[in-house]
Structure 1
Amino acid sequence: MSTDAHSALTPRWVRDLERLLPIRSQFIVAGNIRDHFLAPLDDGSLTPVPLVRCLWSALQRQDCRFLLIYDPVGGLRPYPNEPPAVELATQLFDLKLQDGAMPMSLDSLSGVMQRLTRMREARCALLVDFASRLVRHPDQLDAGEHRFFLAAERLAVQAVPVMVKNRMPREPGPLADNKPRFNPVLWLLNRPQDLPSWFALDNARVESLTVGLPDFETREAAARSYFTLFRQMDEAGPGERDKFARDFAAATEGLPLTALSDAAQLADRQGIAFRDVEDAVQCYKVGVLENPWKKPYLRQRIAGAAEFIETRVKGQQQAVTKSVDILMRSVMGLTGAQARSGGNRPRGVLFFAGPTGVGKTELAKTLTQLVFGDERAYLRFDMSEFAEEHTGARLLGAPPGYVGFEAGGELTNAVRDKPFSMVLFDEVEKAHPRILDKFLQILEDGRLTDGRGDTAYFSETILVFTSNLGIYVEDAQGRRIQNVQPGDSYATVESRVKGAIADYFKYRLSRPEILNRIGDNIVVFNFITPPVAERIFAGMLDNVVSRVREEHQLELELEPAVRRELMARCIDDLSNGGRGIGNQLESLFINPLARALFGLDLEGRQRQGGKLRVAEFKESEEKIVTLGLA
């Protein structure tokens, strides 16, 4: 690899450190500090190493002879743990090492800092590791802690760059020039605010370096280091090795380099071949190796999906066809195929819109049954419960420092527990707009981090949103009017509902980006038509007959005239869809049937194993329905 390529893959914070050593005495290094970083080996190749080793490689290029590392538990120790470095550090700083380290108080550490910044015998540096844990509360210091940080701030201002007396060539790389530069103090922090807020305020000698997540090129270069951990590597040609590195880097977008190492270790233990590198990443993310999306039985189920769905969701052919298309796309691994990073997105996204009671939630349950074999595998969130902004803490987890943040969020916890699931967000338009913003990250990146810092991955889920948007709209006077109604053609219903949904997200919420990420996955349901209503009524009535048979061992029969009258009453008003049919059936038939069965049971006339015929359907002036039983 060329020198220019090496330089491009060197972490930005390392390049900034080397550039600023002549003018900065202290550095706050914060962010992704527990990750691995690319550092050069003796043969010129790059390999992922921990931050301390990467930092040491950079300091060596600046003629540094050793590095002192302090942490609140272990004390002070020289690095690297090699005789020349340890002997020189012990001599210059009068170290009394016990098991390679020297216990030290903050006052003693202040003395080490002063000695280090004035050192001319050898160039060296001090790294304060776990600096986020030096004090309990950075803005509530006791006297000793305040004295320590005040001394460090004063030292940052008063330190001067020095030239060393005895320079020794160090490998690798050319010897740095002998111009004056600081012997730096580096603070290793999770977050910059873990130090007192006043420490670096208006202090030009203290530089903050942000350690970010690796980019695609860095992950691609690191991926080559882990190729040997995958099976069948001996069969790979140069082109396949390059493809492996690209696929590995693409699948780990947004993750640290340690994630690549962990995924490769899992692949080694699970015996995953290099061609299945995405399975290794999936195993790392969701903790499950068995992927139901790749099982042969799922393709067989989806092949007959339309007939299976029709038994439960009637009269919604257009919605069923589009939903099955999205399932097929998910099974074939083509979700987001048009985008470079599409592999991290959810397996499928469905936005079910239409009148109430037409089968939106029922279709979500049916798809869950189809894919996962159990309709209870879906995770349902009633978004009307999240109408206030503060309720987002329930769904996604409270921010750090707030009560309950350690519990995580209901959504993130559920997806971590069941990474292969259907996630249903019912009546999504009732959620607070700030909560809807969180869906941007889920729809684009397929991940969400809760208040504890734990990440839930949605890459193996199907997201289903249901909504009644577009059925009613506001007119110019702000009155709520019906936008579509029974009898309209499906083309009219679909066009008007989609238009109303677009207006809602673009103009009312001012969040067109959410609509853009949902894309063409809006599935509009039609009104229940009379022929479909008759089939729904028949299915519900059959369910009642089956329940009577199971509970009372009685065969329930209805006279044709009774059945016709009952059906006519139940499907007379279809404005509430199938749910309205069920409500009418409950009032007109199930309630009087229960009353009649209860009376027979009290009289001891109910016979198990017999037949019960409904011969008459009567309604009094008081609207009380009774059944004539025979």
Structure 2
Amino acid sequence: MAVWQDNLKRLLNQKEVLIIHGNIRDTAYLTEEGNLVRGLTDLINRTGRELGYDKTVSWGSFFDHEGRGHSPMWSLERITPLNGDQPEIRETESQDRVSDVLHRWLEDEITSIDEKKIFIINYIDKITGYAPDGMYSEPTAELVTLIQKIIENISENNRLIMIALRDTMIPVEYYTNSPRVAVMEIPLPDRAERHLYYSTTLASASIPSDQIDLLSNITEGLYMKDLENILSDVLEEIDENQEVSSSMLRKIVNRYRIGTEEDPWSRIPLTGPPKGLLDSAENWFLERVVGQDHAVREIVNAIKKARSGVVGLSSGGQSKPKATFFFAGPTGVGKTFLAKKLAEYLFDTEEAFLRFDMSEFKEEHTVSKLIGSPPGYVGYEQGGQLTNAIKNRPFSVILFDEIEKAHPKIMDIFLQILDDGRLTDSRGQTVFFTESVIIFTSNIGTRTVDSRGNTTSEQRKLDEIINDSDLSDSERERRVREHFTRSVREFFMHEISRRELLNRIGSHIIAFNYLKKSDYQVNIIENKLKDISENFRDKFAGRGHRLHLSGELTGYFLEKYGDSISEFGGRGLVNALEDEIGNIVADQLLLAEERGMSDINFEVYVDGDVIRCRRS
């Protein structure tokens, strides 16, 4: 039996009033025998019968006299004898039926000691919702008072169960400092329940036990209704093909988890250029990302683990993100650029790259920007930026930039993502991160002031390593990486005291190198010039224009911006190149437009200590 069902029995024995919230809308719940009980009301009836209660009185259910689906029928109560007799429908016909039912319960029924009854109020949050300031309208205040009196006066032989979607959606007066009240959450089916369900229902299908284990693992975070649908699809697959593969199981589960059978991870080629994971992937990244060989190797190794399916072997969890990284290093050395290229490698487009600037999430209330505003607040209907983005594109590389600037409460969001691989937004919708890669970036290690405003020696220690002339280049790079890794660990362990988040990141702190070597700088300049040329071609293809950049430009820009790249990385170089080349090309483009010229070749070349542009 699920732990929460044990808790339900225990609390019904111990407390007169129980508030149940969470997974209350599921179509079925699993018993310890592996059978399904249809609906929460039937489960309460079953539990009440086991505990020796005589009747349940269920109010506010979605039914009418004929048992048809309906909006909550506050005029109707279903009285169910637990000895097997037929249920009775009782109707209150007055206009003020909610108040009348509560008054009747208070005055005539909940204090009775003739029978043992369980009174059930379904969707209590629809009758009396939570008021943030505690100020209720006069009719609602009357109802809150009535329910409080019921809680205070219910006899020890009777029980009151109030059911809500969330405990935060009902008045706190019901349970605050109330020894008669317990609050209990119904969770989604846990692994033990899922394994019991599939091992019972698939016993006659001759499915190997390892596939039942796989199915139990990868269905974490799903409702029982989803589990039933998955079972139906699995049995259909077996009927058609006499077997079901592990890859097919994953596809079937993804239909219900992320809404698609698509699996870009399985399409990553294992061998062959340009992207073969075993023999070509490192070169693919190194052709695009300059000077970060160590980071590239770490990335490729992580992709191999995700592609092979060995992620989560130590913990047994199959519902975590595919990979998690912490990119540390100075600004402008390619942290964001590598993340974008990772999205392109995995999902064939940089549009699968999602970036969230954590400097926009410094305040506690900004958590709502990620997961949505609570009910009743502005923006509730819009959902959260993060949850909406993952719902729309579950196969993504998600970058949280400058994580040290985020409010500490947002760290709890990250912990849930890394632990469970899912997040529930303010509207109760669950999104899954199981097909995504999570990357945190930070300039920790280069700071002079920490997140609490205290002076830190990070930059001084880094300068000592960089300026130590006795170190070889390889030794200097190794010590710089050690400095950044140590700084990140100290940030989590001592500065914000979040060791648990550091543990989830594990050994995937990747420190980026400075771009001081001249060959690094040459490669960066050449890549940027190539980008400018290709983008010009794409943008002006309709006019037939072409842009030729002289080979001398590399040396020109290296001499002019080499020191800047060493100190600040390649980020500022992009703007500098666009400004210098763009200014002189713009004049020639406008002249060509004025004269109605097309199919022009624009050549940018070095003339002494300046660059010029001519057309031909």
Alignment of 1:2-17 (within 5 A): 11-17=5-11
* Higher alpha-carbon deviation: 151-160 or 9-18: 151-160
Of the three residues 197, 205, 213, the one matched with 1:234 is: 205
When normalised by structure 2's length, the TM-score is 0.79
| 1:325 CA displacement | 0.8
Q: What corresponds to 1:318 in structure 2?
A: 294
Q: Does 1:260 pair with 2:236?
A: no
Q: Which amino acid aligns with 1:59?
A: G
Q: 1:386-416 deviations in whole A, cap 9, x for unaligned?
A: 3343333222322333211221110111001
Identity over aligned residues, as a percent?
27
Contact kept in structure 2, 1:615 and 1:628, CA below 8 Å: no
What amino acid is aligned across from residue 490 of structure 1 in structure 2? Answer: E
2:39 counterpart residue number = 50
Q: Deviations over 1:245-267 (max 9, x none)?
A: 54444334455544433543555
2:419 to 444, 448, 469: 444
Partner of 1:38: 30
Change (3 A) 1:67 1:320: same
Residue deviations 1:33-60 (CA, integer Å, cap 9, x gap): 33443347xxx66434422212212222
Which ranges of structure 1 fall in alignment gaps of 5 or more residues? 1-5, 162-181, 620-624
Whole-Å separation in 1 of the counterparts to 2:615 and 2:214: 70
Distance in 2 (alpha carbons) for counterparts of 1:434 and 1:210: 24
CA–CA distance in structure 1, aligned partners of residues 51 and 270 of structure 2: 59
Does the residue aligned with 2:608 lie in a helix, a strand or coil? Answer: strand
2:550 paired residue number: 558
Structure 2: gaps spanning 5 or more residues: 61-71, 468-472
- The residue matched to 1:506 in structure 2 has which SS? helix
Rounded Cα–Cα distance in structure 2 between residues aligned with 1:121 and 1:605 = 99
Match of 1:496 in 2: 483
The match for 2:529 is 541
Cα offset for 1:234? 2.6
Answering whether residue 186 of structure 2 is matched by residue 212 of structure 1, we say yes
Range that drifts further, 437-446 or 324-333: 437-446
> How do 1:73-472 residues align onto structure 2 when only pairs under 5 Å count?
73=73, 75-79=76-80, 84-86=85-87, 95=90, 105-108=98-101, 110-111=103-104, 115-117=108-110, 123-135=116-128, 154=149, 160=155, 182-192=157-167, 197-199=172-174, 206-213=180-187, 214-227=189-202, 234-236=205-207, 240-241=208-209, 243-253=210-220, 255-265=222-232, 267=234, 273=244, 275=246, 277-295=249-267, 297=269, 301=275, 302-303=277-278, 304-341=280-317, 343-472=318-447
Q: Deviations over 1:579-616 (max 9, x none)?
A: 34444444555434444x25864895978456747362
Q: In the alignment, residue 330 of structure 1 is paired with which amino acid?
A: A
1:50/1:546 CA distance change after superposition, 3 Å: closer
Would the alpha carbon gap of residues 573 and 111 (structure 1) be closer, same or farther in structure 2, given more than 3 Å must change?
Answer: closer
| 1:357-391 alpha-carbon deviations (Å, 9 max, x no partner) | 32222221211111111122211222233334333
Are residues 387 and 155 of structure 1, via their aligned partners in 2, closer, same or farther at CA, if it must alter by over 3 Å?
A: closer
Change (3 A) 1:56 1:611: closer
Distance 1:33 1:527, change over 3 A: same
Distance in structure 2 (CA, Å) of the matches to 1:10 and 1:555: 68
What amino acid maps onto 1:579 in structure 2? R
- Using the size of structure 1 for normalisation, the TM-score is 0.77
The alpha carbon displacement at 1:457 in A equals 1.1
Give the C-alpha shift of residue 185 in structure 1. Answer: 3.7
Q: What's the secondary structure of 1:344's corresponding residue?
A: coil
Following superposition, the deviation at residue 516 of structure 1 comes to: 2.2
1:288: how far off? 1.3
Code of the aligned partner of 2:414: F
SS of equivalent residue, structure 1 residue 11: helix
Matched length: 572
Aligned twin of 2:63: none
Contact 2:175 2:183 in 1 (8 A): no
Residues 512-542 of structure 1, C-alpha deviations (whole Å, 9 max, x = no match): 3322221111222222210122222233334
CA spacing shift, 1:607–1:522, aligned 2, 3 Å: same
Shift of 1:287: 1.2
The farther-off stretch of 213-222 and 605-614 is 605-614
Conservation of the 8 A alpha-carbon contact between 2:364 and 2:409: yes
Question: Given that residues 29 and 40 in structure 2 are in contact (C-alpha distance below 8 angstroms), is that contact kept between their aligned partners in structure 1?
Answer: yes
